[in-house]
Amino acid sequence: MRVLVTGASGFLGRAVAAEIAAAGHEVRTFQRRPSGVPGVTDLLGSVTVPAEARLAVAGMDAVVHLAAKVSLAGSPADFVAVNVGGTRSLLAEATDAGASRFVFVSSPSVAHAGASIVGSDADPADPARARGPYARTKAEAELLALAADSARLRVVAVRPHLVWGPGDTQLVARIVERARAGRLPLLGHGAALIDTTYIDNAASAIAAALEQADAVHGNSYVITNGEPRPVAELLAGMCRAAGVPAPAWRVPAGVARGAGALIEAAWAVRPGVDEPPMTRFLAEQLSTAHWFDQRRTRTELRWTPAVSLDEGFRRLAASYDR
Q: How far is C-alpha 17 from the geometric centre of its chain's CA atoms?
A: 15
Non-local (6+) Cβ contacts of 196 within 8 A are 161, 162, 163, 164, 224, 225, 229, 234, 309
Cα dihedral sign, 140-141-146-151: positive
**∠ CA 195-196-197, rounded to 5°:** 135
Distances 201 to 68, 224, 247 between C-alpha atoms, Å: 20, 8, 27
CA dist 16 and 3 (Å) reads 11
45 phi and psi angles, rounded to 5 deg: 170, -170
Non-local (6+) Cβ contacts of 240 within 8 A are 246, 313, 317
Say whether 320 is catalytic.
Answer: no
- The active-site residue, picked from 134, 198, 221, 320, is 134
From the list 100, 86, 88, 80, the residue with the least C-alpha distance to 2 is 100
- Please give the positions annotated as active site: 134
